[in-house]
């Protein structure tokens, strides 16, 4: 009776499932030959099994207080309702336009030469005894002679250019005691099998927010901006884990 070893059973099951999924995908593509791609119907996303409700910081409900015989609301910055971000949970648009260029070219050269020479032809008449006591080849005229030389040369060059132009909507996550707003924004865009991620955090002043509820990245204090990707293309551009570990451990 043919038996499959236990350590080969799980890989065999995984391989079988992968082949079945591949076959289903192939048959589905063949059935759509010559047909236009179908659009997904509009559905209620909350009815899906993988749906998870979003939980984010929200502002506390404030009671609107008006002064007697006045149309102004206490604390309002404009006559009409202010649409600019000011409370926890509000959304603010950040314009990111970074064009940095840096170029350095440094060269350093240093050279030094030292020499010491002592001429002691007569040492109180003991120069002859000194020759006999130490070495017959001793020359009192060059009894002490020292010399040293050092040379150092260094060169460095940096040529860097960066350009990023993006727009991201950030969420107010905290209001500091001085009124400044802590914001955080995340944006993900997936094209085929590649995901582009944009992360932004920082602190802004309410006074710097424009009437259109936007602010430039140069007005974001403690800004942390990250733009990268993950997916098949990003994986190819990175060395494999084994190579990275080898480069770290290899001393030569």
Q: What is the per-residue pLDDT across 30-62, written as a single tens digit (0 to 9) for each?
A: 676 777 667 677 777 778 888 788 777 777 766
pLDDT band at 14 (very low <50, low <70, confident <90, very high): low
Span 4-30, mean pLDDT?
61
Please give the helix or strand (H or E) that residue 6 lies within, else none: helix 6-31
Q: How many domains does the chain have?
A: 2
Q: Is residue 113 part of a domain?
A: yes
111 and 153 co-located in one domain: yes
Q: Is residue 96 part of a domain?
A: yes
SS3 48: coil
* Whether the predicted pLDDT of 29 surpasses 70: no
Per residue in 102-161, pLDDT (tens digit) is: 888 888 888 888 777 666 666 665 666 666 666 556 666 666 677 788 887 888 887 878
* Whether the predicted pLDDT of 3 surpasses 60: no
Q: Is residue 136 part of a domain?
A: yes
Phi, psi of 176 (to 5 degrees): -75, 160
Residue 126: give the domain boundaries.
Answer: 106-157
242 and 204 co-located in one domain: yes
Q: Is residue 16 part of a domain?
A: no
129 and 230 co-located in one domain: no
End-to-end CA distance of the chain: 55
Degrees (nearest 5) of the Cα angle 46, 85, 229?
60
153 and 224 co-located in one domain: no
Q: Which residues pair with 166 in a beta bridge?
A: 96
- pLDDT: which is higher, 35 or 74: 35
> Which pLDDT score is estimated for 115?
76
Q: Is residue 233 part of a domain?
A: yes
pLDDT band at 81 (very low <50, low <70, confident <90, very high): low
Q: Is residue 173 part of a domain?
A: yes
122 and 238 co-located in one domain: no
Per residue in 172-202, pLDDT (tens digit) is: 999 999 999 999 999 988 888 888 889 999 9
Span 225-242, mean pLDDT?
81
121 and 174 co-located in one domain: no
236 and 176 co-located in one domain: yes
Q: Is residue 235 part of a domain?
A: yes
Per residue in 197-217, pLDDT (tens digit) is: 899 999 999 999 998 999 999
Give the Cα separation of 172 and 59 in Å (integer). 10
Strand (E) positions, the chain?
91-118, 144-175, 181-191, 194-204, 214-216, 221-231
Going by their DSSP bridges, the two strands 181-191 and 144-175 should be labelled as antiparallel
pTM over 0.95: no
Per the CB < 8 A criterion, the answer to whether 88 and 59 are in contact is: yes
116 and 214 co-located in one domain: no
98 and 196 co-located in one domain: yes
Q: Is residue 4 part of a domain?
A: no
* Whether the predicted pLDDT of 71 surpasses 90: no
* Average predicted confidence (pLDDT) for the chain: 77
């Amino acid at each position: 009776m043919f038996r499959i070893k236990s350590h080969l059973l799980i890989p065999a099951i995984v391989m079988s499932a992968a082949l079945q999924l591949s076959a289903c995908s192939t048959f589905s593509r063949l059935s759509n030959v010559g047909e236009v791609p179908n659009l997904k119907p509009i559905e209620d996303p909350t009815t899906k099994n993988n749906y998870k409700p979003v939980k984010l910081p929200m502002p506390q409900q404030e009671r609107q207080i008006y002064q007697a015989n006045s149309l102004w609301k206490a604390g309002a910055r404009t006559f009409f309702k202010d649409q600019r971000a000011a409370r926890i949970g509000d959304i603010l648009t950040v314009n990111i336009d970074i064009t940095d260029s840096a170029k350095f070219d440094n060269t350093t050269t240093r050279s030094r030469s030292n020499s010491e020479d002592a001429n002691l032809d007569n040492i109180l008449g003991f120069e002859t005894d000194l020759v006999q006591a130490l070495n017959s080849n001793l020359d009192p005229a060059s009894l002490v002679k020292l010399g040293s030389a050092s040379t150092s040369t260094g060169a460095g060059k940096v040529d860097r250019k960066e350009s990023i132009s993006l727009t991201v909507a950030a969420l107010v996550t905290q209001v500091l005691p001085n009124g400044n707003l802590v914001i955080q924004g995340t944006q993900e865009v997936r094209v085929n099998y590649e995901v582009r991620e944009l992360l932004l955090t920082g602190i802004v002043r309410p006074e710097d927010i424009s009437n259109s509820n936007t602010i430039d990245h140069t007005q974001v204090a403690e800004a942390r901006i990250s733009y990268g990707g993950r997916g098949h293309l990003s994986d190819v551009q990175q060395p494999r884990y084994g190579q990275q570990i080898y480069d770290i451990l290899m001393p030569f």
